[in-house]
Structure 1
Amino acid sequence: MAADKAILEQDDALYDEAAEVVRLASAAGLTVGCAESCTGGLVSACLTSAPGSSAAVRGGVVSYAIPVKHDVLGVPYDGLLDVPQLGAVSSECAAAMAMGARKVLSCDACVSVTGIAGPGGGEPGKPVGTVWFGIDTAPSSRTVMHLLEGDRADVRRQACHVALGLLREALMELSAK
């Protein structure tokens, strides 16, 4: 509990980034959402900490467990979640989470976060700190992987920064059209 409190209360940059996402979305009349696994709702918490967030944030889905990824977000078991080389920590899963959450939340831009925050859980080819992100909008979808360093709180905090940055970029792209 103390580590999560520190993530939200002792990182002014996270608050500033979330406020910027809310400002951009509100100014453009756009909405955002999140699908989170290893961050456990922290991205949504950052977004909703910004004043005016109710105008821009549709919601978030914490899909920590595999069945929630499948049942709520529509991430397929066959050929993805049941394949060890892919699984929940993969580009394919991040893309499916973002797309599924954008549909469920009916938002314009949705970010997903899925990875291994540690301290355990690493495996060959997917060490602790491996985090995949998806960003989905009506015109486009993409994923990116970051290998984040530090302890569990560090990985989760850095993942929030990346997720907010992806939302900001997506909103700027949507606003430019």
Structure 2
Amino acid sequence: METYRKELHTVSTPLSGYVQLILFNELIEEAQKDNILLKMEVRVGSFSYWGPGAGAIDESKYIQLIRIGHKETEIQDLKFGLNKLAEIAIKSIGNDDPKTASNTIYQVTDLLLYLEQRTTFSPYLMDNNHQVRLLLGVDNFEYHLYQGLGIIRHYSQKNHIIAALARLAESINE
């Protein structure tokens, strides 16, 4: 598909708001039918495509597979979910509620552990013929680690954050 990249087409979403849901399976199926490769620019709210079938694309069917809304959701936005947990921890520290702060920090740690053990941070999604059909901007584990615990570290008592980091370090692969 790289030879077709010079004929890149860019599509912006017609609505302003937050990307709430991307129907990945349907996008891959449509890209396979149309014989194209898609690249999602999720934070920007646009996507581009290229490939042998790029000249005959109905862009509206792809736009319909990306749900835009007025509010952020944590359904497919891990950063948003981690930020919500960090806010709870920071507010509980400010309100002298160390139990809630500690519990929330451990929840962030458990979520990061789950990510490390079960999630691949591959930017390439393939169709059932092992042809890459979708390129994603994917954040790595270190990025999520910072989003989950780095924000809290400025407001947290050191014992909470160090205990959480020690627990995480003991549980993950080197």
Q: TM-score category by the smaller chain?
A: under 0.3
User: What TM-score, normalized to structure 2?
Assistant: 0.24
Larger Rg, first or second structure (1 or 2): 2
